[in-house]
Amino acid sequence: NGRLVIVGGGLAAAKAVEAARGCTFEGNTVLVTAEAHLPYERPPLSKEYLRGEAEFSAQVVHDDAWYEGRFVDVRRGVRAARIDRDTRQLVLESGEELAYDALVLATGSVPRLPATPSADAAGVHVLRSKEDADALRGALKEGARLVVVGGGWIGLEAAASARALGAEVTVVLRGQEPLARVLGPELGRFYADLQAEHGVRLLRGERVEEVLSENGAATGVLLGSGERLPADLVLFGIGADPATELAREAGLELGDGVLVNELFQTSDPAIYAVGDIANYPHPRHGRIRVEHWDAALHQPATAVAAILGAPEPYDHEPYFYSDQYDVGMEYVGHVPDPAGTRLVIRGDLAARAFVALWLSEQDALLASMNVNVWDVVDEVLPLIRSGVKLCPKRLADPSIPWAET
């Protein structure tokens, strides 16, 4: 049995330890996380945790006793600084060197901040870690004026949570509808209407040029149109970049993320990459990188099985979920650009209970999104995986069972 070293403090790192199971024994598994916490899940940070409805402990994947029971040496609050591939050592920022036989990188993503003036002012936030959520939550008082920059999932979820806390919320969008790049304009409009109905102001086709500040504290934003929008808080939800610096510095092959094979093995056979950073060949969708909870949940098992000598190529449809107000959704499948697809709605868009289905030019199902309708994912998965030609009319009719569409 060799020594397994895992770098990361998110779900993927925890799942990598879990996958090593009976093969962890004294001294042979080390987990290195830059964060002060044990590995935890991030989705509640924009939802129930941000609203103060849930304890942080509910997000922590496993407690101390769990790691101790598996003899895992957990190093918290220390960053891995460098990989020495020739001697197979992971060098920590403390200077300590950890020898490995297999190394799993699960370093996740880093939220983007624009290079605008005053982006570091007090009151300017991003949302990635517990500390980020605590800082935002502490400032989200009743009546606080929050500007959310960007209309992605995290920004919209945070907007919904901020409304629940009584903040005044404006979302600044570059495009005409939020989420349009993922969902297309019609369903982007669906989410825009949902937000507007809950009192969120949406500024479309706008960009934030500058954060305005006084004495080091944000006072608003300057828009491209020249308008000055007053604000107490500014949240940048403009996406995140894969944390690839360890891999880059080690000379591993990179593309959009760390390039891995179908076992999550990088260009160095002793090093694996999983979760948000992994760019892998999907059996049906080509090379993809999935920045979602479900990828961090499932990919580590494939990587660790390969390390333990039981390689089995990963074959899993991308999946994610989001909750805003009383609207929950699940999305399964992959659509690189909704513009080239045919959208079918099964159910009632106006009643906010429906399944959106994206079909290829050949009428094969590429992806589905169920909104406030449940138990759909397992029904549509066989249709997506088979790639069979479907009849859009039958798909749109909720009275026809999935298996007969």
Do residues 140 and 227 lie in contact, with contact meaning Cβ atoms separated by under 8 Å? no
> Strand order in 254-255's β-sheet?
254-255, 257-259, 278-282, 286-289
Work out which of 206, 232, 291, 317 binds ligand FAD, going by CB under 6 A: 291
Among candidate residues 115, 91, 98, 114, the one with its CA nearest the CA of residue 2: 98
The CA distance from 118 to 76, in Å, is 31
Residues 305-324 that bind ligand FAD (CB under 6 A): 320-322
Cα distance between residue 228 and residue 42, in whole Å: 33
- Cβ proximity to ligand FAD: between 39 and 220 the closer is 39
Query: Which of 177, 206, 232, 276 touches ligand FAD (CB under 6 A)?
Result: 276
Q: Using CB under 6 A, which of 5, 11, 90, 384 touches ligand FAD?
A: 11
* 3-state DSSP assignment of residue 191: helix
Rounded to whole angstroms, the Cα distance separating 32 from 35 reads 9
- Which one of the spans 5-13, 143-151, 176-184, 375-383 is the region binding ligand FAD (CB under 6 A)? 5-13
Q: 142: helix, coil or strand?
A: coil
CA 244 to mean position of chain CA atoms: 16
Among residues 190, 272, 293, 354, which is the contact residue for ligand FAD, using CB under 6 A?
Answer: 293
Q: Which of 3, 18, 23, 35 binds ligand FAD (CB under 6 A)?
A: 35
Return the residue of 29, 33, 118, 405 that touches ligand FAD, per CB under 6 A: 33
> What minimum distance in Å lies between the beta carbon of 298 and ligand FAD?
11
3-class DSSP assignment, residue 369: strand
Neighbours of 146 (CB within 10 A): 25
CB 150 within 8 A of CB 179: no
Task: Please identify, using beta-carbon distances, which residue of 160 and 222 lies nearer to ligand FAD.
Answer: 160
Measured from the CB atom, is 81 or 400 closer to ligand FAD?
Answer: 81
- Site string (372-391) toward ligand FAD, x via CB under 6 A: --------------------
151-190: which residues touch ligand FAD (CB under 6 A)? 154
CB of 249 to ligand FAD, least distance (A): 10
Select from 13, 72, 329, 366 the one that contacts ligand FAD (CB under 6 A): 13
Residues facing residue 124 across a β-bridge = 234
Which is nearer to ligand FAD, 154 or 359 (by Cβ)? Answer: 154
Per CB under 6 A, the list member of 6, 30, 32, 165 interacting with ligand FAD is 32
Q: Output the smallest distance, CB 8 to ligand FAD, in A.
A: 4
Length of the chain: 405
Task: By CB under 6 A, name the one of 29, 109, 118, 266 that touches ligand FAD.
Answer: 109
Identity of the residue, 43 or 150, whose beta carbon is nearer to ligand FAD in the bound complex: 43
Neighbours of 286 (CB within 10 A): 9
CB distance 157 to 164 below 8 Å: no
Task: By CB under 6 A, tell whether 235 contacts ligand FAD.
Answer: no
Of 14 and 173, nearer to ligand FAD (C-beta) is 14
Encoding tokens for residue 126?
Answer: 């991003």
217 Cβ neighbours under 8 A, 6+ residues apart: 121, 122, 123
Q: What is the DSSP string of 112-144?
A: -----TTTTSBTEE--SSHHHHHHHHHH--TT-
Q: Which residues contact 57 (CB under 8 A, 6 or more apart)?
A: 63
Please give the residue ranges that form the binding site for ligand FAD (CB under 6 A): 7-13, 32-35, 42-43, 45-46, 79-80, 106-109, 127-128, 154, 243, 246, 275-276, 291-294, 296, 320-322
